Chain A
Amino acid sequence: MSIDILIVDDSITIRAMTKKALALSISDLGQVYEAENGILALARLAEKKVDLIITDLNMPRMDGLQLIEKIKRQPNLADIPIIVVSTDGSTERLSELEHQGIRGYLRKPFRPEQLKEILSEILETTYDHQTHNTDVGDF
C-alpha cells in the first residue's frame, strides 16, 4: 500500500525539508499534503484521510496541541498516527504529548535518519510497511 502523509508546519522551509526526508525514507510514498496551521490541516483531513500526520506545535491560528486534541476527538481520525516535530523539548510538554497519544516526537533540528527511524517503527507496527534500506544521511 502507498502511504499518504500530511505535513503541518507554518514554515515552508521545514515542510520542504520534511517532504524530502520522507521521499528518501518511504519506499512507497503516496500523496504528501501540506498545511500551514491546524485549521488548514483539519480542512485537508475533512477532504482526504491520510495514513500519517507530521505536525509542528508552534503555529498561528491553531497550534499543534489544539490540532491533536481535535483529531483525537474525531472517531474517524483518532487512529491516525501522529509524529510531532517541534523545538519544544521540555519534559512537561513531552509528557503531555505522550498522554495525548502521539506516536513519535522529534526535536528540531532533526536529521533525516531520525525521522526515518521513527517512521520505520510506526509504519511497520501500524501498516506492516517497510521503509527504504538506503542511507538518508545526506539530502
Chain B
Amino acid sequence: MTTKPITLTSAISEVIENLTMMVVDDPETCENFAPQLRGQIEFTGPVNGSLGIQCSENLAQKLAANLLGVEQETMETQANAWDALAELLNVVCGNLVTSLYDSERPFNLSSPQINVIVPAQIDDNKEQSYSNDDSQRAFILLDDEPVEFVLSVKK
C-alpha cells in the first residue's frame, strides 16, 4: 500500500473542505488573478515562517456567509468577511505546520493580519512573495474563485 505524499495544495484543500461547505478545485490557469485582500500569519516553533493568502473581497464575503450559515447578501459588515478570512488563515496554518513539519512539538501562531491590496502594489506583492527561494505557492479555486497561498520558511 502506498501513501499519497502531503503537498501544500492537498493539505490546504483538506482543511478548507473540513472547515467550510465550499468546493475546492485546482485552477486550470492563474492568469488574470487580481486579488483585493492579502492576509498573513507568522508561525514560530520547530520551524519558523509565515503563511500568506490573497483573494478577492467577494470570496471573503462568501466565506463568512458560509461559515455563519447566512446568505451573502445579508452580511452586515466588512469586518465579518475579514474575520472569516483571518480565521481561515489561522486554521489552515495551524493544521499545515503540524502536518508538514512537526506533529509532536507545538507551534505558536501570531494573530492573522488582513489588508487591502492597493492595485499598484500587486506587482510588488508578487515580487516579495516569490523572492524567497524557500517559498512555496499553492493556487486553488474556492467556490470558483482563485485563492493563492504562499508558505515561507525562515532558515
Query: Which A residues fall within an 8 A CB radius of B?
Result: 10-14, 16-17, 20, 58, 60, 86-93, 107-109, 111, 139
Interchain CB contact under 8 A, A87 and B93:
yes
A81 to chain B, nearest CB (A): 23
- Residues B68 and A58 in contact, CB atoms below 8 Å apart: no
Do B107 and A88 touch (CB < 8 A)? yes
Is B10 engaged at the interface, CB distance under 8 Å to the other chain? no
Interfacial chain B residues near A108, Cβ < 8 Å: 19, 90-91, 94-95
A91 and B26 CA atoms in complex are apart in Å by: 32
Those 5 A-B pairs whose CB atoms lie nearest each other, nearest first = A87-B94, A109-B19, A93-B106, A90-B106, A139-B69
- CB–CB A11/B107 < 8 A: no
Would you call B7 an interface residue if the criterion is a C-beta within 8 Å of the partner chain's C-beta atoms? no
Pair A90/B91 contact, Cβ less than 8 Å: no
Q: A13-B83, A88-B94 are in contact. Are A20 and B108 (CB under 8 A)?
A: no
- CB atoms of B87 and A11 under 8 A apart: yes
Q: Does B18 contact A (CB under 8 A)?
A: yes
Whether B64 is near chain A, meaning CB under 8 Å from some CB there, is yes
Which one of B32-40, B97-105, B118-126, B142-150 is at the interface?
B97-105
Residues from chain B with Cβ under 8 Å of A111 in the complex: 18
The distance in angstroms between the C-alpha atoms of A20 and B15, with both chains bound, is: 21
Q: Would you call the interface of chain B mostly helix, strand, loop, or mixed?
A: helix
Contact, CB under 8 Å: B103 / A109: no
* B95 A87 Cβ-Cβ under 8 A: yes
Query: Using Cβ atoms and an 8 Å threshold, which residues of chain A touch B68?
Result: 13, 16-17
Residues of A within 8 A of B84 (CB): 13
A91 to B68, CA, bound (A): 30
A109 to B95, CA, bound (A): 9
Residues of A contacting B106 with CB < 8 Å? 88, 90, 92-93
For A88, the chain B residues whose CB sits under 8 A away are: 94, 98, 106-107, 109
Tell me whether B6 is interfacial, beta carbon within 8 Å.
Answer: no
Contact between A17 and B67, CB atoms less than 8 A apart: yes
CB-contact partner of A109 in B18, B64, B107, B109, under 8 A: B18
- Per the bound structure, the CA–CA distance linking A87 and B79 in Å amounts to 22
23 cross-chain CB contacts under 8 A:
A10-B111, A11-B87, A11-B90, A12-B83, A13-B64, A13-B68, A14-B87, A16-B67, A16-B68, A17-B67, A60-B111, A87-B109, A88-B98, A88-B106, A88-B107, A88-B109, A89-B94, A89-B103, A90-B98, A90-B107, A107-B95, A109-B18, A109-B19
